[in-house]
């Protein structure tokens, strides 16, 4: 009977295995108000305004990084259409591309980037604001 009480006491006792354990920040604030995607060695921020698409590159401390250190290409996919490649222009700490969404309510951007010694793909679903 004693063993049963000990087993019940152990089962009913709350276990606090993660108390005092810091996992770091849950989310990263976008410096320019865009959409952040985090990779192993960098953060990427997408900012769209009109037909202009800007993708900013930051290091892990959210300091601007030079895009020349990260080979990348960008594709866009409209609903029910094939994806097409967009030309990325290097602007130092960010890339710039021009895209007309043709009054589409949504499109998907996919950035293929080489960072951390391997290739990664990052996707953003964009819903353009209508005026």
58 domain residue, yes or no: yes
pLDDT at position 21 is 47
> In the numeric block, which tokens belong to residue 27?
């989310």
The mean per-residue pLDDT over the stretch 18-44 comes to: 76
- Residue 16 has what pLDDT? 47
Report pLDDT for 5.
64
Mean residue pLDDT across the chain: 85
How many domains, the chain?
1
Is the pLDDT at 12 greater than 80, yes or no? no
HEC secondary structure over the chain: CHHHHHHHHHHHCCCCCCCCCCCCCCCCCCCCCCEEEECCCEEEEEEEECCEEEEEEEECCCCECCHHHCCEEEEEECCCCCCEEECCEECCCEEEEECCCCCCCCEEEEEEEEECCEEEEEEEEECCCCC
pLDDT at 131 over 80: no
pTM of this structure:
0.77
Q: Which domain holds residue 116?
A: 30-126
**Which pLDDT score is estimated for 25?**
53
pLDDT tens-digit series, residues 52-97: 999 999 999 999 999 999 999 999 999 989 999 999 999 988 999 9
pLDDT of res. 95: 96
Specify if 18 maps to a domain. Answer: no
Tell me whether residue 3 is in a domain. Answer: no
Residues 6+ apart with CB under 8 A from 36: 27, 28, 29, 30, 43, 44, 45
Residue 75, domain CATH = 2.60.40.1930
Residue 4 lies in a domain: no
Higher pLDDT pick, 3 / 57: 57
Say if 9 falls within a structural domain: no
């Amino acid at each position: 009977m004693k063993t049963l009480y000990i087993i019940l006491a152990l089962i009913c006792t709350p276990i606090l295995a993660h108390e005092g354990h810091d996992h770091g920040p849950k989310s990263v604030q976008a410096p320019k108000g865009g959409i952040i995607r985090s990779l192993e060695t960098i953060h990427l921020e997408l900012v769209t305004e009109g037909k202009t698409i800007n993708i900013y590159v930051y290091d892990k401390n959210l300091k601007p990084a030079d895009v020349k250190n990260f080979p990348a290409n960008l594709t866009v996919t409209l609903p029910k259409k094939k994806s097409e490649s967009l030309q990325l222009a290097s602007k130092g700490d960010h890339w710039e591309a021009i895209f007309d969404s043709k009054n589409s309510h949504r499109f998907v951007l996919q950035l293929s980037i080489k960072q951390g010694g391997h290739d990664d793909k990052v996707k953003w679903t964009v819903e353009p604001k209508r005026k």
